[in-house]
Amino acid sequence: MRKKLIAGNWKMNTTRAEAIALASAVVEAARGYPQVNVAIYPPFPWLLLLVEVIKGSPVWLGAQNCHYEKSGAFTGEVSPQMLLDAGCTSVLIGHSERRHGLGETDALLNKKAKAALAAGLKVIFCVGELLAEREANQTDNVLDRQATNGLRDLPPDKLANLILAYEPVWAIGTGKVATPEEAQAAHAFLRKKISGIFSENFAQSLPILYGGSATPDNVTSLLTQPDVDGGLVGGASLKADLFAKIIQIAA
């Protein structure tokens, strides 16, 4: 049975003091529900601080992005090896805000995913359609393209560290949420696609998270869908009480 994962993407938010307080609260919440995996993705400047905060706890510490090279003349970038050295165990790849806000392509994201997995990081690989694509009934085509191109030729011995996140872009930060039926349909499509790319056994073991304005008020109906294995939580992950409630619901 796939273990639920609740991951908090803090994006470009929190001060130093807020980050420490929030991570401390997440640690306390996670300790009460060992049946749920819990992860946080703070901004880069806080990673070394929060390694100490989560030490000895079950919480995963992750970064919001990485480069595909180990080192070199890449001003402003951070390598998977640096993230590991800083104490991270995980990284987000392909969040919609990087795809559509910063123009990251499927080919670039594929290189990042390969590099991060090869280095030993868990990778949450994000996919999802724009509102115009959903309204044009192109959701399956978009997910097919993003999964096929983004997950091409990943290192077979590292696939156990792969996690998918379905993010309907129209639901991120908008307060709109995919219905449970819409979320389930997209997750089931992705699981079938993964079966074709890799294998049925792997597809059945792969966690697929929902991301898109998840809150304690709507997450129960999402998490009870058979192919929804957790949440990549944005705004609600910045409020300790809301994030703790989502962890509790997942448990």
167 labelled catalytic:
yes
**DSSP bridge partners of 7:** 39, 232
- Start-to-end C-alpha separation, the chain: 14
d(CA 119, CA 81): 6
Of 57, 58, 43, residue with least CA distance to 5: 58
3-state secondary structure of 63: strand
- Which is the catalytic residue, given 97, 104, 167, 182? 167
Bridge-based pairing of strands 60-63 and 90-93 is parallel
Return the H-helix or E-strand segment holding 11. none
What are phi and psi for residue 118, nearest 5 degrees?
Answer: -60, -35
d(CA 160, CA 42): 23
182 labelled catalytic:
no
Bridge-based pairing of strands 208-210 and 162-166 is parallel
Count CB neighbours of 41 within 10 A. Answer: 25
d(CA 78, CA 91): 11
Tokens found for residue 143: 């997910």
Question: Which of the residues are catalytic?
Answer: 95, 167
